[in-house]
Amino acid sequence: MNTTIVETLIETTKDFSIEETMDFLANEYKDKVVFSTSFGQEDQVITALIAKSDVAINIFTLDTGRLFQETYDVFHKTLKKYKKHIEVYFPEASEVQNMLNEKGPNSFYDSVENRKECCFIRKVAPLTKALKGNSIWITGLRAEQSENRNDLGFFEYDANFKIIKFNPLLKWTLKEVEAYLEKNNVPQNTLHKKGFLSIGCEPCTRAIAPGEDIRAGRWSWESSQKECGLHQK
């Protein structure tokens, strides 16, 4: 069933622009299309496209409680520029409290299991709440971001969250993303100019050196697949 829907969406929108596809989805799945932003470069492109076309897509973000101040700054600038509401989802305070009481504030450095626990509490559980009841989840994933994302499709069914994903920037290069941001004067996180290409929580993100993989700055002490559980690829 879900495979059939995905195939139908791919066929129906194959000649559509991103804006036309988003408009189609907003009409086809009224009030059930959401976009998750972490205010990274790709997400800022999509926010600008949504705002420019004034399409009926709800935007939300996850505040883990450990974000960079620069992320809050671009959040604020984005609200002021586009005048579009962005819903904020927080982790459950009791879950964070219990984790810190049991393991301390930096348990995520001790093991992959601990890090994934922290990611689950601060990100995955709030995302589950944000996606509940919706049909389409728009993301800023690009194939170029990591080897794990090379085989993604524009539409795909996410069995983990039981929702259809739309990845409009899938085939965009980083240069194309940066060019769009500059041309359209889209607010950007100042950390991008300092070597932070993929930005998450402050203690789990570092700048990358020239030639390093885009995701190398995330959980750099690990040799894992560099994913937190929001996207399995």
Contact 192, 41 (CB under 8 A): yes
Q: 186 with 48: CB under 8 angstroms?
A: yes
Instruction: Tell me the sheet residues that pair with 125.
Output: none
Q: Please report, for the chain, the start and end positions of each structural domain, with discontinuous segments joined by +.
A: 2-189
Note whether 25 and 136 are within 8 A (CB). Answer: yes
Q: Which of 118, 119, 204, 228 is catalytic?
A: 228
**d(C-alpha 121, C-alpha 28), whole Å:** 33
Residue 100 per-residue DSSP state: H
pLDDT at 223: 76
85 exposure class (CB count in 10 Å sphere: 0-12, 13-18, 19+)? exposed
Respond yes or no: is residue 118 known to be catalytic.
Answer: no
pLDDT, tens digit only, all 233 positions of the chain: 678 999 999 999 999 999 999 999 999 999 999 999 999 999 999 999 999 999 999 999 999 999 999 999 999 999 999 999 999 999 999 999 999 999 999 999 999 999 999 999 999 999 999 999 999 999 999 988 766 556 788 999 999 999 999 999 999 999 999 999 999 999 999 999 999 988 999 999 999 988 888 888 889 888 765 555 565 54
Quote the pLDDT of residue 107: 97
Second-level CATH architecture of 2-189 = 3-Layer(aba) Sandwich (3.40)
Looking at the DSSP assignment, which residues form a beta bridge with residue 138? 35, 166
The reported pLDDT for the residue numbered 202 is: 97
Separation CA 96–CA 100 (nearest Å): 6
Residue 232: predicted pLDDT: 54
End-to-end distance of the chain based on CA atoms, in angstroms?
22
Q: Which of 176-182's residues contact partners 24+ apart within 8 Å by CB, and which partners?
A: 177/41, 177/42, 177/45, 177/142, 178/41, 180/45, 180/48, 181/41, 181/44, 181/45, 181/48
pLDDT in tens, 66-115: 999 999 999 999 999 999 999 999 999 999 999 999 999 999 999 999 99
Residue 131 pLDDT: 98
Rounded distance between C-alpha atoms, residue 144 and residue 110, angstroms? 30
